[in-house]
Each structure stands twice: as C-alpha cells, then as structure tokens.
Amino acid sequence: MIETEVMDNIIELKHLTRKFGDLIAVSDLSLEIKRKEIFGLLGPNGAGKTTTISMICGMLEPTEGSISFKGFGGKEPKSLIGYCPQENIFYPKLTCMEQLVFMGQMFGVNKITCLERAGQLLTLLGLSDKAEEMAVNLSGGMKRRLNICLALIHDPEILVLDEPEAGLDPQSRILVRDFIRRFGESKTVILTTHNMDEADRMAHRIAIIDYGKLLLLDTPHNLKRTIGEGDMLEIVPENSSGNDVTGFIDQVSALVPQINNNPHTLLFRHPDMLEIMPSIKRIADEMGFKIAEFKLRQNTLEDVFIHLTGRNLRP
C-alpha cells in the first residue's frame, strides 16, 4: 500500500454521464486524478469502468459533463494518453519492433526516436529477444506485454491500463507490476481491475464505482477502514449434519455481530478480535460445533468491494 503525496490534479471529470439508448453506463461521475498517481478504478462487470476510461481516452464522447486535462499546455489529450485495452490489440503480421515503430510514427514521433524507445520498452518488459518476432507467434503473456509497450511508444504522460494483469502468469505479473510502479513514479497511471490484491498493492487511490456511479474514492488504507476498524475473523463450518450454524451465530453475536450473511463462511469483525477469539472458540467447543477453518485477518479491499457492491452476480 502506498500513501498519496499532495499532488496537482491533472484530470478532472465533472458530472460525467454516458448513455447508450436507455442504458446509463456512467452517471454523474465527478472525480480528479493527480499527477504521478496510480489511480485504480474498481467495480463489478458492467459498472462503467471501461466506459469511463474510453471517455478519458477520447474514444467515446460523454453524453453530459466534461473531462479536462490540466498542466499540459494545451496539448492534444489523445497524445497525452497511452491506452492499453483489456483485449490484446496488435498487428499480427508485423514484428514487435515494426509495430512499435509504426504506432510511434502514427503519433508523430520520428523513426529514430521510435526505434530507441521501442528497444527500451521491449527490454523493460522482457521482450528484447522477441523484437524481430511476428506478434502472432508470441505467447499470451508476451502479447499482453507488447500491448503495454504499444500504449507507451509515444511517451505519454498518462497511462491507462484496462485489466493489465489479466491472463498473465505469476512471473509476468510481477514484471508488469514493477514496471507500472516505476512508471507511476514519474507519470500518471489509471488502471481498472477486478484483482483487489493488484489494486491494493499498486494504487495510491481507488475509486469504486457501480451502476455508473461513484461509491467511494480514497486510499486503499482508508477504504479498508470505512467498513469498520479491527481484525476480521473468518470461520468456515465443517459440513456435518450435527452443525447448528444458526445456534452458533446466535451465541457468538452476543459477543460480536456477524457482518455477512453467508452460512458457509462466517465473518466477524472486532477492534480487539485477539481478545475475544478464545471466547468464540469456547462457544464452539461447548456446542460441539465443528470448524473446518478458523482464520484471523485484516480487512481487505475485497471486503470493502463486496460490502459496497453486494454478492449478486452481474449480467
């Protein structure tokens, strides 16, 4: 977790709304993104994350509201942003080097600079030995990394990543994560993800959106505090016929209330959970309540996310 320094706003979304017919994908969304910030956008499927970043990147026009970029001396917003979409998009019949140079040239960068920058990016993302390989022949993880290189070839001020770790093996994930962190030291990164761990580890601030609306925006640390102080006890009952889950919950609730509504994984939170854990264990033993797992942990972003967006699957 990285704490936010005081930084200037470089992107301001004001009352941003985007409608597709009757569907309101993004509704009255207002937020600011700061310079040299890694900004996470969390939300379930269909929450409006991709629509929001598409508007930031200039691929979609807002139905209402505005997006302003500050401190770039009137530069064309498109040239400020490097967009790495969720889907790997590249020219299958060009080599890694060829397509990086081509995309750089499309952004108006001269060929020599493109060649230099492409070489650096391929090295940083572990693709230097694949520079002359046609993209179609790369593995899934390599294609994902090439996708990131393509977003950065014109040296943008803002890198927008849609699910950057999707489909990556653990080694590639670490490489990409380190790369994003390093990039975020000098530039701005906006990332959307379903991976709470990824967001928690990397983002300075996180916005949680659902049904196109902003639910919470804060640092990961503060977000975790919003759903309550203290540690979390997670109890997974054994699936035995004699287990009286309801009776157990009733008795434990006298000490600490259950914070979820799931009979298969019982969650309890208390500011001093270590103190009351022995009492909970004693209740279980006295009732003959069999426990498969008994786990003490801190609040996670997933807890926050589920707390805010619920457990229901989204269409």
- Per CB under 8 A, 188 contacts other proteins: no
Range 127-146, binding other proteins (CB under 8 A): 134
- Of 136 and 274, which CB lies nearer to other proteins in the complex structure? 136
Using CB atoms within 10 A of its CB, is residue 3 exposed (0-12), middle (13-18) or buried (19+)?
Answer: exposed
Closest by CA to 307, choosing from 49, 44, 46, 51, is 44
Stretch that binds other proteins, among 96-104, 177-185, 233-241, 248-256 (CB under 8 A): 96-104
- Per CB under 8 A, 83 contacts other proteins: yes
- Per CB under 8 A, 91 contacts other proteins: yes
Say how far apart CA 294 and CA 4 lie, in whole Å. Answer: 34
- Per CB under 8 A, 75 contacts other proteins: no
CA angle 281, 282, 288 (to 5 degrees): 90
- Per CB under 8 A, 69 contacts other proteins: no
- Per CB under 8 A, 64 contacts other proteins: no
Range 142-171, binding other proteins (CB under 8 A): 150, 154
- Of 59 and 276, which CB lies nearer to other proteins in the complex structure? 59
Question: What one-character-per-residue DSSP string does 244-309 give?
Answer: -HHHHHHHHHTTS-B-S--SSSEEEEETTHHHHHHHHHHHHHHHT--EEEEEEE---HHHHHHHHH
Q: Where on the chain is the footprint of other proteins (CB under 8 A)?
A: 54, 57-61, 76, 78-79, 81, 83, 85, 87, 89-94, 98-99, 101-103, 105-108, 110-111, 134, 150, 154
